[in-house]
Structure 1
């Protein structure tokens, strides 16, 4: 008996056949059980709880002893009450196939939610099995959890009536969940994706010679919300082969009814093979898909992968020094006495730093940067510690610390850029141009430094970054042109910093490409969905609310001011004068003020009627996933290169592995599965 149950009741002293549980001015019965029971007084000063529906009675109090309410709850929730079970059966028959949690009409509306909570708790073997499969999918539990004795005992303690399934059955249930969610997602694609789709391609290696290719699609829906969804997780014999990749993409597009809607693919392959890789993919897929702008935008390299590769190269350039710093921090943290001694020396040296020494996670380069940054502020303390402690001899030299400081300057460039991308409210393609061109300029200038330490590191970084810039600057530039705060103006400004006297030539390349791409959208528009067509159709009303039939009146209406000829002249001019294209109008208009809260997708949503064709182009461009790292994930981790599938998932049948990976991605957007991520959630969760 719980304390709460005991406080819910008071002795019943009257002898009425049936009474409502007494109410105190200070305390009221809080248990919802009392919506279904009344209290009857019986002989000997005892009371019994009577079910309002089936009239069965249960012991409640005997003198001063209270029996509690647990047994009463079981009567309601476990389906023991025959009347309640019958009501629930009728209720389910009325509401089957809907999501309404409504209740039977004979209960007061005020109590409907409470009652439905009890009624929906009735045991359902199939529903429980389905929820078990979803739990396994979402939380990456192994399928054989259903055979683990401890888990079986736990489930039996919650619901003895549940018949635990075997591995084969739960595997089939996982496949059922996958198929059901796939059907839902297909419906979403058909109704909510008016434009093209861009893919991200990930490689997963196994402990065998086989591997998997993961494909995720990113698009902007009819309401101008950005989405990314896993499409396929396919077993291939040679995942690094262009043929295998193009075949996987072709199969996936056909499977999802998108064979004519592919816009770009984003890869994280090594920059040295990008040219050949891109050309082969274009050749394989161009026969099946109409590639925009002659395929110049087709293959995009992952920006996050570039940051990781360059950062790890910088760290590797001083790996010996970093090893000494790691060992030094381990030495200090090995005992409380050493930490106190270290702090005492820092106090004597009057070092103002508030940073705390910490060890890094070697697979996450941002933690290495923060470790070096903190350690460099205590460099003199490490030197002093070495002179006063014979057990410590790992202190870096002054030249070592100088190299650490230079490395920290370069890592800060990458670190700040990565954080800016992750902090973006909407990871649309336009945000990456800012980060890329700033780093390109900084590295170009650093290669000319007279300091050999600076120039040596900068040259190595610049080699990889310059290759990325040459490969991807066009797609990044076109994306930022679609940002009304910058348009071509930022291209002109940034290119003058990068190319100097040759800037005009490169600016023209971008301008010509934007116009050429726009022409493709005017001559070969994609079929419009009804929702999109409504937005894009010319309004039947002018700005002042008068009906516009899109034709001139047969007889000009005189204004009474003697300017009838002038009115005719204006009418003829409006007919004969060829108007500028949407793109030229957009580019010539003033820039939108740069405010921190600016929402580029909402801006295009509001300007869709003004720019019906250009908005289609902007929708596809802004949806390009320049980074393969999803919202809420860290760029700094090891998840942007080829990943290794663990031994358990490698042993699963390919169709089961695909069901687990894809369904996990899809289920996270159901509010009943996982709580939504923090406010930085930019890939909008679409309920389906």
Structure 2
């Protein structure tokens, strides 16, 4: 290494004296291995504690630095350290330390400047360990695992590992800290909040209810946060569900902010409308539209239920296809043979055979889709391989083809939701009515298989449509690309001659909902001064200011002549004319203006929340309504895996967490959700320099 590089590594913290003459404590790690000895001429030398070799350190006021001392202890220059390393290597590798043993090849060493003097914070390390356990679902007992303890000791011997009870307490402390942060956020949201309710079961007779809140913040960004994860004795009972919702609203001070509740299909709407839940709600929080929007059924769940029913209708054929794929992928030789058959048949498919995950219906669809393109190859393979006899028949393949057509409807709809960064409620109307229309047309098919599957699917989607079409329609009306026009068009396709009656129901409901926002501004919303009110306030303040100024002038300048106050631009008569016009021709409401304006172009990248953000001044009241409506969680699914899952009925708490205390389970689930929105790590100091030596 060149001397210039060594000089770069000298730290000011290693200097023993300051310009004022006061001595500074040495923090460099080298002083754990060296002592300073005075020599003649006012100089000092650093003496290695192990090999007693000395090195120049200071000459008068000139400091030599510690770079050469670091090399002595880190690069194997010290014979004592080198001997200890060789003995340790011999013990771990089982070789002898005689002269015949050759030295191992040099290893890459990393020299880091900027971290050596960093202080060790034991409490912070334990706190970060608790966060790691929360975020990655590690068991609390990891603090007792020998392998983990050895790993920690190799990183930082000074870290004294805590026991299970202590780390559990640290997890609860993280939960409480993050809860306070979220409480502050929820206290500033300008609109209402909608809840999603999920049910969990355990290996015991107890269960849990998970409650998450979805809202749009002041910057018009959509958020969903876990609020509570509560243990209940009977999660499916009416009282338990009502009490859990009531407790969560009180716990987070949201009694006056609740807008809607989204449930999976396993929950009945009468649970939500029970008297117990109404008692928990504040009298100020009257349900909008007499409760017509209060309960929303999860769209992701209906997709899962219908998809599972379709798959179950041909479970025998799917079993044969699954076994066929297993046979081909059992060995490279079989895969090669199958590829040769496909090549001989000139099958143009670029898809790859894959096995499905039985709990994820999208993987089953993709497995069937790929196998369908190789159906001829499977038939030929059965004739030339005596070990294979699982090929589906031609009739079976026809059924698979039909099933794939219907699964594609569900698969494409689910992917629309997944691909939307902020799945606001307006996107779901399109998905439901398109599928419903496709199924209505398929029922009249002459193919018995097609009509049979379509009829079963239509029954479930039609029930979902009847329960949720109003909230879906109101949500899409808040989309300036569609408004009432899409409702009118889609209803004409679904209801035919009766469509006008259903369109009127939606139109009346929207106007009624808007009037509720006009008549009763939400107390939870920060005071919003509309443009007209602001003008009145400004005029009042200006008049008061001018009046005070006039009084002061009269009192202080009685002997001075007063200057006439200007009367404006001389258009007072024009202002009176405008006022009379306003009285004779009342202005239209914000809702009417919005609905009468032309539709925006349908662009794929349209950001509806940003549009409403930019038009808040133009529609101050309607934007409040849009904020709450667009935040309704039509689907409870938050990840691609959950929306393709088998449904809420399979949400089972694992054996380990089932045995934890309920407050600990809640802390683990909620804090994991909250921590994902925090920075993932701390940036290293900018002064750190990492150098590699060979």
| Shorter-chain TM-score tier | 0.7 to 0.9
CA pair 49-258 structure 1, distance change in 2 beyond 3 A: farther
Query: What is the rounded CA distance, in whole Å, between the counterparts of 2:175 and 2:302 in structure 1?
Result: 33
Distance 1:556 1:144, change over 3 A: closer
CA RMSD of aligned residues (A): 3.5
Question: Aligned partners of 2:483 and 2:201: how far apart in 1?
Answer: 41
Distance 1:638 1:663 in 2: 26
Alignment of 1:487-566 (within 5 A): 487-527=483-523, 529-530=525-526, 533=528, 536-538=530-532
TM-score, normalised by the number of residues in structure 2 = 0.79
- Correspondences of 1:247-266 after superposition (within 5 Å): 247-266=243-262
Match of residue 312 from structure 1: 308
2:394 aligned to which of 372, 379, 398: 398
Q: Is the 8 A contact 1:303 1:627 kept in 2?
A: yes
Equivalent residue for 2:120?
123
State the distance in 2 between where 1:268 and 1:456 align: 26
Which residue in 1 is equivalent to 2:374?
378
Which whole-Å CA distance do the structure 2 matches of 1:118 and 1:197 have between them? Answer: 49
SS at match of 1:669: coil
Q: Does 1:183 align with 2:180?
A: yes
Contact 2:227 2:248 (8 Å CA) reproduced? yes
Give the 3 Å change call, closer, same or farther, for CA 448–555 of structure 1 in structure 2.
farther
Equivalent pair of 1:220/1:619 in contact (CA under 8 Å):
yes
Equivalent pair of 1:540/1:549 in contact (CA under 8 Å): no
SS at match of 2:168: helix
User: 1:329: how far off?
Assistant: 1.0
The CA deviation at 1:339 is 1.6
**Alignment partner of 1:170 out of 167, 175, 188:** 167
2:274 to 250, 261, 280: 280
Contact 2:445 2:451 in 1 (8 A): yes
Native 8 Å contact 2:10 2:65 kept in 1: no
C-alpha spacing 1:345/1:188, structure 2 compared with 1 (3 Å): same
Once the 2 structures are TM-superposed, how far is the Cα of residue 35 of structure 1 from its aligned partner? 5.5
Residue 56 to residue 660, structure 1, CA distance change in 2 (3 Å): farther
Q: Is the 8 A contact 2:57 2:63 kept in 1?
A: no
TM-score, normalised by the number of residues in structure 1: 0.80
Contact 2:246 2:277 in 1 (8 A): no
Structure 2 counterpart of 1:108:
none
Distance 1:440 1:67, change over 3 A: same
Q: From the superposition, tell whether residues 632 and 451 of structure 1 become closer, same or farther in structure 2 (CA, over 3 Å).
A: closer
The answer to whether 1:439 aligns with 2:435 is yes
For the structure 1 residues 565 and 651, does the alpha-carbon distance in structure 2 shift closer, same or farther, using more than 3 Å as the test?
Answer: closer
Check 1:58–1:278 CA distance in 2 against 1; reply closer, same or farther (3 A cut). Answer: closer
In 2: Cα distance, 1:174 partner to 1:51 partner: 54
Aligned to 1:476: 472
Tell me, yes or no, if the aligned pair for 2:360 and 2:646 is still in contact at 8 Å.
yes
Offset, 1:61: 6.4
Q: Which has the higher contact order (CA 8 A, sep 6+)?
A: 2
Please give the residue correspondences for 1:261-660 in structure 2 after superposition, counting only pairs within 5 Å.
Answer: 261-270=257-266, 274-280=268-274, 284=278, 288=282, 289-527=285-523, 529-530=525-526, 533=528, 536-538=530-532, 569-630=577-638, 634-638=642-646, 640-660=648-668
Tell which deviates more after alignment, 337-346 or 419-428. Answer: 337-346
Count of aligned residue pairs for this structure pair: 595
Please give the alpha-carbon distance, in whole angstroms, between the structure 1 residues aligned to 2:661 and 2:280.
32
Matching residue of 2:134: 137
Secondary structure, aligned partner of 2:400:
helix
Question: Which of 366-375 and 128-137 deviates more?
Answer: 128-137
Specify the structure having the higher radius of gyration (Cα).
2
* Matched residue SS, 1:152: helix
The Cα shift of 1:42 comes to: 6.7
Q: Report if the CA contact (8 A) 2:269-2:295 is conserved.
A: no
CA distance in 2, matches of 1:49, 1:400: 87
Structure 1 residues 528-565: Cα deviation after superposition (integer angstroms, max 9, x where no partner) = 655x626x4448579xxxx978999x999778xxxx98
Q: Distance in 2 between matches of 1:665 and 1:649?
A: 16
Q: What is the CA–CA distance in structure 2 between the aligned matches of 1:349 and 1:642, rounded to whole Å?
A: 43
Distance 1:70 1:293 in 2: 79
Deviations, residues 45-87 of structure 1 (Å, cap 9, x unaligned): 985567999979758269xx8554899xxxxxxxxxxxxxxxx
| Equivalent pair of 1:33/1:69 in contact (CA under 8 Å) | no
List aligned pairs for 1:41-120, cutoff 5 A. 47-48=55-56, 60=68, 67-68=73-74
> CA shift at 1:280, angstroms?
3.2
**1:3-42 pair list within 5 angstroms:** 9-10=1-2, 22-23=3-4, 28=5, 32=9, 34=11, 36=13
Question: Do 1:218 and 1:623's aligned partners in 2 also have CA atoms closer than 8 Å?
Answer: yes
Question: Quick one: distance in 1 between partners of 2:133 and 2:445?
Answer: 56
Could you tell me how far apart the structure 1 residues matched to 2:376 and 2:136 are? 47
- Where do 5+ consecutive residues of structure 1 fail to align? 1-8, 11-21, 72-113, 676-688
| Structure 1 pair 282–402 and aligned structure 2 pair: CA distance change class (3 A) | farther
Q: Is the 8 A contact 2:225 2:673 kept in 1?
A: yes
1:527 CA drift (Å)? 2.3
Q: Secondary structure at the match of 2:254?
A: coil
Distance 1:556 1:174, change over 3 A: closer
Residue pair 1:246, 1:285 contacting (<8 A) in 2 also: no
* SS of residue paired to 1:346: helix
Three-state SS of the structure 1 residue aligned to 2:528 is helix
Secondary structure, aligned partner of 1:214: strand
| Structure 1 residue 672: Cα displacement | 3.0
Q: Which residue of 2 aligns with 1:100?
A: none
Judge conservation of contact 2:308–2:646 (CA < 8 Å) in 1. no
Match among 647, 663, 670 for residue 678 of structure 2: 670
Specify the SS of the correspondent of 1:200. Answer: strand
What SS does the aligned partner of 2:203 have?
coil
- C-alpha offsets along residues 77-112 of structure 1, whole Å, 9 cap, x if unaligned? xxxxxxxxxxxxxxxxxxxxxxxxxxxxxxxxxxxx
Q: What does residue 220 of structure 1 align with?
A: 216
Question: How far is 1:320 from its partner?
Answer: 0.3
Provide the C-alpha distance between the structure 1 equivalents of 2:123 and 2:342, rounded to a whole number of angstroms. 65
